[in-house]
Structures are given as structure tokens and as C-alpha cells.
Amino acid sequence: MTGSISKPRKSDSAYERLRSAIIRAELEPGSLIEERDMMERLDIGRTPLREALQRLAHEDLVMAVPQRGYFVSATSAADFFQLSEFRDHSEVLAIRSAAVRITNQQLERLKSLIDEAREGVAARIMDQDWHLAIDERLHKLVAEASGNRYLAQALNRLYALSVRSLYVARVPVTLLFEELENFSAIYEALAAHDADRAEQAMRNHLDIPTVQAVQIPARKGTHKAAANAGKKSVDMP
């Protein structure tokens, strides 16, 4: 008798779809999430929707306001800098830990992911969501390989908030056409269990101009300021 594949819980599906919409700024910062409209849009009931919203609230992507409902969390240029600074340090800690603790199975998964990325680049996939998904899977795998579940949870939250800042500021997300060399360097350093090489490879991948970010005032025109402080902007080749 063959085993059946369990269907994802409705709250999990709602969480993923809402998270994606918030990260990509399809739901704008500060906007109210209308429960009835969202239930129809996601084709779910109130209970799974609220479970999804509670998870998103724990990740600071939405904010619960008593008697009013859930709102998409606001963001600013100052948030962008602080997120980038915190995420940089956290990603470095994760990859240095992963260099020591990564398993052969995790290395195989990382290699398969990079092979998938190479095939997609060779096929000239231009879907930005595909590029972003590959990048997020790489960071999740490195975080998992760190062996620290609290660090992995924090990085999942930081990744979502950081990418949302780019979308809100309309900064083009870096595409894999420019990242395969960095991905390979990350894999090779982890396979060699070389923490110093792994750290440098991750820093090269993140490549955030922190000095520019420090100089940006947190006042009017924050979207434009965040764009100037953003991760390297790469146009489609």
C-alpha cells in the first residue's frame, strides 16, 4: 500500500502567500489587511487566516492593533540600514558555524541547488520570483547547516524584512546571472570546512554598501534614500 502525501495546512498556505505578497510589496506598508477580502482572495476561513497572520506578526511583517485588526508593518530608510547591519553579522555567524557543522547530506542539497540555479541561468529564466526563491533557499540551507535553530529562525525573519525593504524602495533585486560565482565559492568553502573562506564568500554575496547607508538621513523621501542604500542594483542582461 503506497503512502499518501499529506496536503499542506490551509494556514500554512495562507502564511506563504501572504508572506510573499508582503515581501514583494504587493501589500503596501501600513495598509490594513481586510479579513473578509483576504479570506475570499485566499479561499480560506477566518481561523487559518488568523493563524497565518499571527505567524507573520511574530516575524514583524504585520502588526496587530487591538480593535482595528492587522496592518502590514511600516518600514523606513533607518530600518533598512539596521536590518542590513544585523543581517550581515548574523549571516557571517551562520556560515562560519556551517563551515564546521555542515553534513554531507546538506552539502549534497547545496550542490543540487546550485546546479538548479545554473540550469535556470543557462535557460535564461527571467522570472524575478524564481531568482529570489533560489537565493532564499541557499540562505535557509546555510542557516540550517549552522546547527543553531534560533539563528536559523532569526535569519528567516531578517531575510524577509530585508528583501521587503528592497521591493518597497523599488531597488532591483540581485539576479542569479551575477551570483553563480559567489554561490560556487560558498559551496567550495563549506565543502572544505574553511570558515574564513566561507565568511568572505558570504560577504561577497551580500555586498551591501554600508558606508552609503550610514550617510542617509532618516527623514522625508525614505523610499528614495533606501534605494540609494540598497544592495547592488543589477539590471536584467
pLDDT tens for 26-54 read 999 999 999 999 999 999 999 999 999 99
pLDDT tens for 47-60 read 999 999 999 999 99
* Mean pLDDT to the nearest integer, 19-26: 90
- Worst-scoring range by mean pLDDT, 56-60, 146-150, 227-231? 227-231
Q: What is the pLDDT of residue 58?
A: 92
Domains of the chain plus CATH, in order, are 10-72 (1.10.10.10), 77-228 (1.20.120.530)
The overall average pLDDT reported for the chain is: 84
Q: What is the pLDDT of residue 127?
A: 87
* % of the chain with per-residue pLDDT over 90: 63
Give the pLDDT band (50/70/90) at residue 216: very low
**Residue 170 and residue 224 in contact, taking contact as beta carbons nearer than 8 Å:** no
Higher-pLDDT residue of 234, 167: 167
Q: How far apart are CA 235 and CA 237, in angstroms?
A: 6
Backbone angles phi, psi at 45, to 5 degrees: -90, 180
Nearest C-alpha neighbor of 139 from the set 120, 123, 163, 118: 163
Is the pLDDT confidence value at 170 over 70? yes
Give the pLDDT band (50/70/90) at residue 5: low
Is the pLDDT confidence value at 199 over 90? yes
Q: How far apart are CA 17 and CA 48, in angstroms?
A: 13
Q: What is the DSSP string of the chain?
A: -PPPPPPPPHHHHHHHHHHHHHHTTSS-TT-EE-HHHHHHHHT--HHHHHHHHHHHHHTTSEEEETTTEEEEPP--HHHHHHHHHHHHHHHHHHHHHHHHH--HHHHHHHHHHHHHHHHHHHTT---HHHHHHHHHHHHHHHHHHTT-HHHHHHHHHHHHHHHHHHHHTTPPPPPGGGTHHHHHHHHHHHHTT-HHHHHHHHHHHH---HHHHHTS-SSS-HHHHHHHTSS------
* % of the chain with per-residue pLDDT over 70: 83
